[in-house]
Amino acid sequence: MAETHYDVPTHYDLVASPCWCGCTASRVIAERDRYGQPLTTVMCRACGTLRLDPYLTPEDAGRYYADDYLRPGYNQGFAERFADRANEQQHLRPLADRLAPGSAVLDFGCGCGGVTHGLIEMGHRVYGTDLSEAALDYALGTGLLPHAPGQRYDAVVTYHSVEHHVDPNQTLGEMAALLKDGGLLCIAVPLINRIVAGARPSGIVGELYFPHRWYFSVDNLDGLLGRLGLERVWSDFETTSIYRKTGRATATPPGAGARWRAAVRLRLINASPTLCRLPGVARLLWRMRKLA
């Protein structure tokens, strides 16, 4: 399938805001997106997370996702989007392997559904929620159930959604609160970790486009979710990770390790996409990070 081209919207005023970790200091990584459109991506100087800055305000993000992002005909039809997501169900297999029969699962930011369809076929009860009412209506027509306020879940799936969120502290906090104790959060985002493996020949710039706001490493997610009382139980270090709700918030600050790992990866990629695919090179540079 041809890659969908997303325009940078011109009818919203973009505003600067801090990293999820609270740090306002950053350095500019790129000033173009993958399509060559003007778009500023920065790296947090404290934790190494990449973000678009400036970005939509929370109010405008609500409008953008309700009206623009999944509007039929704007980029993809709902049926096509459902089918694309249904083709990616294998990413939820590690979660399915950890679910008891008949589990209650929330697909948070479900869009048109699809990725959790296999869980429904396995007999789990899958609920959905999304900012786009039209997309959610489509998803409910494919077998998802409507989320009811006050309900708690054995698992929450957030599949390629958090990288769009203006404030992931808030939305991931909501997801943590919706989990039962010991419940599982399955989060899929475009992890920085995969870039070092040469997933995009053009390196980091090949990843960047609006409206992806965040590019996390697994270290970044560990810090962000640890503060919310979740600890990692599994990751593929490319997109998908599983965290368990422990209820014990860790005060793990986003450390220098995360910062340098991200910095080294980015320098490596900027220097040579071919070099970054050679076995052992990334590991060697990570070990040299003290010299960076």
Per CB under 5 A, does 175 bind Zn ion?
A: no
CB of 223 vs Zn ion, minimal distance in Å? 8
Q: Map the footprint of Zn ion across residues 154-173, applying CB under 5 A.
A: none
Length of the chain: 292
Nearer to Zn ion, 24 or 202 (CB): 24
Nearer to Zn ion, 211 or 223 (CB): 223
CB of 58 vs Zn ion, minimal distance in Å? 18
What DSSP letter does each residue of 84-123 carry, written as one string? HHHTTGGGGHHHHTTPPTT-EEEEET-TT--TTHHHHHTT
Task: Give the Cβ contact number of residue 29 at 10 Å.
Answer: 18
CB of 42 vs Zn ion, minimal distance in Å? 10
- Which CA distances in Å does 170 have to 116, 146, 176, 225? 23, 21, 10, 11
CB of 169 vs Zn ion, minimal distance in Å? 11
Q: Map the footprint of Zn ion across residues 42-101, applying CB under 5 A.
A: 44, 46-47, 49
Work out the angle at residue 163's Cα, subtended by the Cα atoms of residues 226 and 52, and round it to the nearest 5 degrees. 110
DSSP 2: P
Task: Name the segment binding Zn ion (CB under 5 A); options: 8-16, 19-27, 79-87, 156-164.
Answer: 19-27
Task: Give the Cβ contact number of residue 99 at 10 Å.
Answer: 19
Nearer to Zn ion, 33 or 53 (CB): 53
Which residues, in sequence order, are bridge partners of residue 28? Answer: 42
- In this chain, which of 8, 9, 17, 23 binds Zn ion, going by CB under 5 A? 23
Nearer to Zn ion, 49 or 116 (CB): 49
Which residues contribute to the site for Zn ion (CB under 5 A)?
A: 19, 21, 23, 44, 46-47, 49
